[in-house]
Copies of this chain bind each other. A is one copy, B any other.
Amino acid sequence: MQKNSTKIRIRYGETDQMGVVHHGNYAHFFEVGRTEWLRNLGTSYKQLEKSGIMLPVVSLQANFKKSAFYDEIITINTYIKKIPSVKIEFDYEITNKENEILCTGNTILVFVNATTMKPTRCPEFILDKLKEVNLKC
């Protein structure tokens, strides 16, 4: 289980009139999480797009446990449980500085060839990186 943790600070514009972070922003937080997960692996989502592969989200799930507040630093924990195939599935756990779980989530993304717009298998350079870090599933 390859895991990455990254921290971000909540922006004012991410709050709503309930006085807490609007739930719609968590899709962006998850995206930051998987971007940093890929970077930590030694590659990047940018590099993936340059190699002609897009990675659209096909499903998103989030459970909101506690609120996040303006100016708070939150930790986005991102991990995968399965070797990616045509799909890659990420799990997320977002915590505050008291280590309370604010939100858990899951997204499934599909590797798509940007030219043919057809699903394609996870590129070898990602699978190789995962082998290097000894991913056990």
Instruction: Write the residues of chain A forming the contact surface with B, with a CB cutoff of 8 angstroms.
Output: 11-13, 15-20, 22-28, 31-32, 35, 44-46, 54, 56-64, 67, 70-71
Contact = CB atoms under 8 A, between A and B. Distances in A.
A32 B23 CA distance: 14
B17 A15 contact: yes
B17 A70 contact: yes
B31 A12 contact: yes
Copies per complex of this chain: 4
A24 B13 contact: yes
B27 A11 contact: no
B71 A46 contact: yes
Q: Which 7 residue pairs of A and B lie closest in terms of their CB atoms, listed nearest first?
A: A24-B27, A15-B17, A23-B57, A46-B71, A17-B19, A60-B62, A13-B22
Contacts of A12: 16-17, 22, 31, 35, 45
A56 B18 contact: yes
Contact of A32 (B11, B18, B57): B11
Given A13-B28, A62-B60, A71 B35 contact: yes
Given A17-B19, A35-B71, 16 more contacts: A11-B32, A12-B17, A12-B35, A13-B16, A13-B27, A16-B17, A17-B70, A18-B54, A23-B56, A23-B60, A44-B71, A56-B64, A57-B64, A58-B63, A59-B61, A59-B62
